[in-house]
Amino acid sequence: MKRNAGLLLIAAIILLAGTRTAGGQVLVESVAAIVGNEVVYLSDVETGVADSRRDGYRGSIEDLRCGVFQQLLVAKLFLDQARIDSIIVNESDVEGELNARLNDYIRTAGSEDALVKYFGKSITEIRKDARKVLVEQATIREVQRNIAEGIKVTPSELRRFFNNIPRDSLPVIPQKVQLSLIQLDPPQNEENKAEARQRLLDIRGRILEGASFSVQAIMFSEDPGTAANGGELGFMMRGELEKPYADAAFSLTKNTVSRVVESRYGFHIIQLIDRNGDMINTRHILIKPKVKPEQAARAMNRLDSIANLIRKDSITFANAALRFSTHKDSRINGGKFVSSNPSERDTWFTLEELNPEMYVKVRDLKIGEISDPFRTTDENNDVVFRIVKLDNEIPAHRANLKDDYQNLYSAALLNKQTKTYDDWVKKKIETTYIKVSEEFKSCEFLKLGWIK
3-state secondary structure of 344: coil
Predicted confidence at residue 115, as pLDDT, reads 80
435 forms bridges with which residues in the sheet?
34
Residue 15 has pLDDT above 50, yes or no: no
pLDDT winner (highest mean) among 132-136, 268-272, 325-329? 268-272
214 forms bridges with which residues in the sheet?
none
Predicted confidence at residue 341, as pLDDT, reads 66
**Which of the two residues, 64 and 278, has the higher pLDDT score?**
64
Residue 365 has pLDDT above 90, yes or no: yes
CATH number assigned to the domain covering 190-287 = 3.10.50.40
Q: How far apart are CA 133 and CA 335, in angstroms?
A: 45
- The domain made up of 176-186+292-395 has a fold known as Chitinase A; domain 3 (3.10.50)
Least confident of 26-40, 236-250, 275-289: 26-40
pTM: 0.63
Nearest to 126 by CA among 137, 134, 115: 115
Q: How far apart are CA 394 and CA 350, in angstroms?
A: 10
Nearest to 118 by CA among 18, 4, 42, 17: 4
Q: Answer whether 169's CB lies under 8 Å from 54's CB.
A: no
266 forms bridges with which residues in the sheet?
263
Distances (CA, A) of 369 to 7, 209, 307, 359, 384: 54, 57, 10, 15, 21
Q: How far apart are CA 14 and CA 17, in angstroms?
A: 5
Residue 293 has pLDDT above 60, yes or no: yes
Asked if the domains 176-186+292-395 and 190-287 are classified in one and the same CATH topology, the answer is yes
Taking residues 312-321, report their average pLDDT.
Answer: 96
Kindly report the backbone phi and psi dihedral angles of residue 340, in degrees, each rounded to the nearest multiple of 5, phi listed first: -80, -10
Predicted confidence at residue 409, as pLDDT, reads 95
For 3, residues 6+ apart whose C-beta sits below 8 A from its C-beta are: 108, 109, 110
Least confident of 22-36, 105-119, 364-378, 402-416: 22-36
The band of 342, judged by pLDDT with boundaries at 50, 70 and 90, is low
Mean pLDDT score of the chain: 88
3-state secondary structure of 243: helix
Q: Give me the residue spans of the domains in the chain.
A: 3-152+415-447, 176-186+292-395, 190-287
CA atoms within 13 A on the CB side of 16: 24
Sheet holding 374-377, edge to edge: 349-350, 176-184, 383-394, 374-377
Other Cβ atoms less than 10 A from the Cβ of 123: the count is 17
The band of 343, judged by pLDDT with boundaries at 50, 70 and 90, is low
3-state secondary structure of 337: coil
3-152+415-447: CATH, from 3.40.50, 1.20.1440, 1.10.4030, 1.10.238: 1.10.4030
The separation between CA 353 and the C-alpha centre of its own chain, rounded to angstroms, equals: 16
Percent of the chain with pLDDT over 70: 92
For 215, residues 6+ apart whose C-beta sits below 8 A from its C-beta are: 230
The 10s digit of each residue's pLDDT in 167-215 is 999 999 999 999 999 999 998 888 999 999 999 999 999 999 999 999 9
The separation between CA 266 and the C-alpha centre of its own chain, rounded to angstroms, equals: 24
Q: How far apart are CA 249 and CA 284, in angstroms?
A: 10
Q: Answer whether 355's CB lies under 8 Å from 377's CB.
A: yes
281 forms bridges with which residues in the sheet?
235, 274
